[in-house]
Amino acid sequence: MPARIMGIVNVTPDSFSDGGEFLDPERAIAHGRALADEGADLLDIGGESTRPGSEGVTAEEELARVAPVVEALVGGDGATVSIDTSKVAVAESALSLGATMVNDVTALRAEPDLAAVCAERRCEVVLMHMLGEPRTMQENPVYEDVVDDIKAFLAQRIEFAVSNGVDEERIWIDPGIGFGKTVEHNLELHRRLGEFEDLGRPIAFGSSRKSFIGKLTGAEVDQRLGGTIASNVIAYVNGAAMLRVHDVAPMGQAIAVADAIMNR
């Protein structure tokens, strides 16, 4: 079965790839609709950048950015929407507006009460690995074994979520490409992605336009489509079931061809 394609809608002034481009709600809504037309299975709407070195925003500011976008895309268009947040207040509002997934880069660590919210609303949850926090995550990241260490972390976060009432069948895991990893760490995660299947949960994967592609190729952030496709096809072949990307149409085409070749 082909991977689900998650289209990225950043309603932020400072995201690493498209910061400010869709900060205006109407532009973000139009962008979400365009990604849906290109074949996105769901749209991931975020109002706070998590790029390396980024500063946080208040829940009020984050909610002001994302609420009109969620409301329009779900209420008006019937799109399937994920809210990219680690804040209880933002998640509660987005879920009330019709979002059906919470994508938390802190794996329910920033605001642990978010687990109870997800349990009560019976939404899907993405638990992602990040070393430290966005401001510090790229400062000399060290692991004994990057895959084993992240597997242990995700196993613990699954246990936390389930112990707080989240249905295990609604949990996704994400190794967090680029979130506190060197280039070699990221490459090792690609090669050994299938080992995360031991955790028994579907794997989400996000490498779109990330800096390791630039470090490997010299490409600027808006010129990394080729590297992004290569990364995501490898991830899909190695077990990824959901791909979070900026460029939905070319990624959908790449996965359709890879799926046919693999005869899945």
* Residues noted as catalytic: 210, 244
Are 123 and 95 in contact, with CB atoms under 8 Å apart?
A: yes
Which residue is it, tokens 């359709």?
Answer: 256
Contact partners, residue 231, CB within 8 Å, separation at least 6: 177, 190, 207, 213
Which residue is it, tokens 């955790």?
Answer: 199
| Amino acid sitting at position 98 | G
Q: Which two tokens stand for residue 167?
A: 């249905």
Residues in the chain: 264
N-term to C-term CA, the chain: 6
Contact partners, residue 124, CB within 8 Å, separation at least 6: 82, 100, 101, 102, 170, 171, 172
Which one, of 85, 86, 72, 69, lies nearest residue 24 by Cα?
69
Element (H, E) at 156: helix 146-163
Which one, of 1, 82, 35, lies nearest residue 249 by Cα?
35
Rounded to an integer, what distance in angstroms lies between the CA atom of residue 263 and that of residue 258?
Answer: 8
Query: Is 144 exposed, middle or buried, given 0-12, 13-18 or 19+ CB atoms closer than 10 A?
Result: exposed
